[in-house]
Amino acid sequence: MKCSGGRLLNYFSYHIKQSKTSYLLISICLLIGITLGIVLHFTSSIGAFFLSDGDQQIFDFVTKDVSLVKFIFTKEGNLLLAFIILFACCLSVYSSFLGYAFFAYQGFIFAASCCQIISTFGLLGIINVVVILIPINLALFGIMAYFTAVSIERALLARKYKMSFKSSFAYKQYYWREICFSVLFGVLFVIIVGVICGIVLQSVSFVVF
């Protein structure tokens, strides 16, 4: 176990070192999106129209407006769609900026949703945002960031060694393993949130939705 844990730690250390630029750009884009979401909420009426589908689904489940099975399948579908979009955006170094733009958009929707919830419900809204939305969305952002960083790393290697599209996937042998790992981890995370956290949230009285 120690040996496996050491290899895993070494891999992530190497991965973060190799992909630090990607993570930095993802973080910057997220912050830009979050900042725009907050600013537009207070300076424009556009902020009042945003509650992300994902956040709405969480609260629909909390208030028992949707079943557990429907909640999980819907969340899984949305997450897989995000993976597909990011995968397509990062097939080439020259299109990877679209992946960063996707994170900016997600940050905007997240911030606008949080601001709208807090404006509507006050203190209870703040509790909901801090206890529910922030932890769940940060975890999903982390999973998607890892997925994106691995994809961009492959694209950069393909350009560096002037490999064809097909051969770049063969060269980066562990690429598919990491992609499958991040997708599987995201799927399991959604199930855990739906089955465990969701059931707990349904019994918490401060959830006002």
Q: Which is higher by pLDDT, 22 or 158? A: 22
| Cα of 9 vs its chain's centroid, Å | 22
pTM (2 d.p.): 0.80
- Residue 118 is predicted with a pLDDT of 83
- Residue 12 reports pLDDT greater than 90: no
User: Is 17 among the domain residues?
Assistant: no
- Residue 207 reports pLDDT greater than 50: no
The C-alpha angle with vertex 48 and arms to 42 and 53, in degrees rounded to 5, equals 125
pLDDT tens by residue, 68-111: 667 677 777 888 888 899 989 988 889 999 999 999 999 998 88
User: Is 69 among the domain residues?
Assistant: yes
- Residue 63 is predicted with a pLDDT of 59
CB distance 115 to 51 below 8 Å: no
Q: Which of 82-91, 124-133, 176-185 has the highest mean pLDDT?
A: 82-91
User: Is 157 among the domain residues?
Assistant: yes
- Residue 23 is predicted with a pLDDT of 95
- Residue 22 is predicted with a pLDDT of 93
- Residue 170 is predicted with a pLDDT of 66
User: Is 73 among the domain residues?
Assistant: yes
The C-alpha angle with vertex 49 and arms to 44 and 51, in degrees rounded to 5, equals 125
pLDDT band at 205 (very low <50, low <70, confident <90, very high): very low
User: Is 11 among the domain residues?
Assistant: no
Mean pLDDT, rounded, of the chain: 77
User: Is 43 among the domain residues?
Assistant: yes
Share of the chain above pLDDT 70, in %: 69
CB distance 18 to 153 below 8 Å: yes
Element (H, E) at 53: helix 53-62
- Residue 187 reports pLDDT greater than 50: yes
Domain count, the chain: 1
User: Is 127 among the domain residues?
Assistant: yes
- Residue 2 is predicted with a pLDDT of 45
- Residue 35 is predicted with a pLDDT of 95
| Cα of 82 vs its chain's centroid, Å | 8
pLDDT band at 1 (very low <50, low <70, confident <90, very high): very low
Q: What is the mean pLDDT of residues 32-52?
A: 76
Print the domain residue range for 63. 33-202
Rounded distance between C-alpha atoms, residue 51 and residue 109, angstroms: 7
User: Is 9 among the domain residues?
Assistant: no
